[in-house]
Homo-oligomer: A and B are copies of this chain.
Amino acid sequence: MSTSKPVRLTDKQFEQIAKALAEPRRYQILKKIGSCKKEGSMGCQAIQEEHNISAATLSHHIKELETAGLVTITREGKTMSLSVQRDVLHAYLEKLSKI
């Protein structure tokens, strides 16, 4: 179960992750996605209701998280299902901890 397979981050991805995490709202969104993972699906709707942002803005943030590799999107009909890529997050933390 989530045996951290060795994830290798390119410099570019490392930067993308750092930027993705630097936006407070994005961090909150990521946390939300992570917290809901247990229950399975996590659509945009639930997130949007918490934050006071438009669907377009949320879409933008989610794309940033996805581009950075921090979340994966699986589509299930109308809604999307998001999940945190903890392997990637931990690879990032691992690299940072080397400082």
Partner-B contacts on A (CB < 8 A): 15, 18-19, 21-22, 24, 27, 30-31, 34, 84, 86, 89-90, 93, 96-97, 99
Contacts and interface: CB of A to CB of B under 8 A. Distances in A.
For this chain, the copies found in one complex come to: 2
B99 A89 contact: yes
A89 B96 contact: yes
B93 A30 contact: no
Given A18-B22, A18-B27, A93 B97 contact: yes
Chain A binding surface SS class: helix
A18 B15 contact: no
Contacts of A19: 22
Contacts of A89: 96-97, 99
